[in-house]
Amino acid sequence: MIAFADVNYFEPWWIQIVKALLIFLVIFGVLPLLTVYERKLLGRFQHRYGPNRVGPYGLMQPLAEIVKFARKEAFRPTGSVGFLFRLAPAISILTAVGGLALIPWGNVQNILGTRIGLYGIDVSIGPLYVFALGGISFYGILLGGWASGSKYSFLGSMRAAAQLISYEVSQGLALVGVLITAQTLSLTGIVNAQRGMWYFIPQIVGFLIFMVASFAETNRAPFDLVEADAELVGGYFTEYGGTGFVAYLFAEYVNMMVVSAMAATLFLGGWLLPFGIHPPGWVDPFVVLAKMMLFMTLFIWIRATLPRLRYDQLMSFGWKVLLPLATLNLLVTAIIVVH
């Protein structure tokens, strides 16, 4: 069993508050830039400019859209369930933001004479915490589609329910291989266990399964079937406009950031650099952010490259390909570790 002295130590309450504020400020500052980055990159893939009118190089486009959506009139369909209709986007946001608290941005550092961990919390059940939040976030989609009183929205939310079962099992089994290899469920412990070799190499099959399942979990192309405009108008958020629509969009991008950070932590060594390079502690968060950007660029690249699958193709792929591969990867990893 691997033991790390810096895991799960006590911090004063005021440090927890300061860290929470810093994490949220950084993420909320990155999110608008991420939307511009995606639209610019998609524009380059599709031989067009992307946003370029509002502000220098279109960088003020997110601010203009925030003002536009905030000024829209709040409305809901007459057949909707009012309380649940408004609660659903809040559930999606809260669960998405909750995952940010678990991302390890660096190890424990000595800052102004105080030992501070560069992460929100370091619980002993790290991946289980993230999966629990992911399971709760599903209710935001399900309630949003059902409470809208629209058949298109309801079909989108039911697709989300079926997708959850088909990919969540494979994604969980892919992570078990990492946990067996690291012999700890602490995310900082998993990063420290990769000092010899990043798990991207021995767990390449688990990594690929995790990434494919993550595309489905974040409702990103080519698995964005819960919001398929071709047959469901807009899916579960068809009847949402203004702040409600922005809330779902915000939750989707936060989930994409959480998944990217988890992939960087579990498979690419978190804040560790290759070739034995040991930078100062203040560099660690920038290393994690750079690795996150690699994965988020991959999300955008796939969106610009692959067409949306049919619903039956996704179900068949999840049960007949991902699940057997994830189970086989788990068995092989367990046998190798035991011997």
SS3 171: helix
Percent of the chain scoring above 90 in pLDDT: 39
Q: Residue range 279-288: average pLDDT?
A: 90
For residue 10, name the pLDDT band (cuts at 50, 70, 90). low
* 287, pLDDT greater than 80: yes
* Chain centroid to CA 105: 15
CA distance 332 to 339: 11
pLDDT tens, 169-190?
Answer: 899 999 999 999 999 999 999 9
Closest CA to 315 of 226, 196, 203: 226
Q: Are 127 and 261 in contact (CB under 8 A)?
A: no
Average pLDDT over all residues of the chain: 87
Higher pLDDT, 283 or 163: 283
306: pLDDT strictly greater than 60:
yes
Q: How far is CA 82 from the centre of its chain?
A: 29
- CA dist., res. 148 & res. 83, Å (int): 11
Tokens 């999606």 found at: 92
pLDDT in tens, 57-108: 888 999 898 888 888 887 888 888 888 998 999 999 889 888 888 899 988 8
Check whether 166 has a pLDDT greater than 90: no
Whose tokens are 């660096």? That residue is 106
Mean pLDDT of 22-27: 82
| Domain spans, the chain | 13-338
Poorest-confidence range of 28-42, 106-120, 161-175, 251-265?
106-120
Cα distances (angstroms) measured from residue 138 to each of 1, 142, 247: 35, 6, 14
Whether 8 has a pLDDT exceeding 50, the answer reads no
Rounded alpha-carbon distances, angstroms, from residue 29 to 6, 22, 23, 33, 231: 29, 10, 10, 7, 34
- Mean pLDDT on 14-37: 85
User: Do the beta carbons of residue 65 and residue 39 sit within 8 Å?
Assistant: no
Number of Cα atoms under 13 Å in the Cβ half of residue 1? 5
What mean pLDDT do residues 196-202 have?
92
Please give the average per-residue pLDDT across 248-256, as a whole number: 90
What's the pTM? 0.91
| Per-residue confidence (pLDDT) for residue 132, from 0 to 100 | 87
The C-alpha R_g of the chain, in whole angstroms, comes to 21
pLDDT above 90 (res 320): yes
Report d(CA 279, CA 272) in Å as an integer: 9
Cβ-in-10-Å burial (0-12, 13-18, 19+) of 110 comes to exposed
CA–centroid distance for 270 within its chain = 15
Range 266-271 average pLDDT: 94
Taking the C-alpha atoms of residue 91 and residue 100, their distance in angstroms, rounded to an integer, is 15
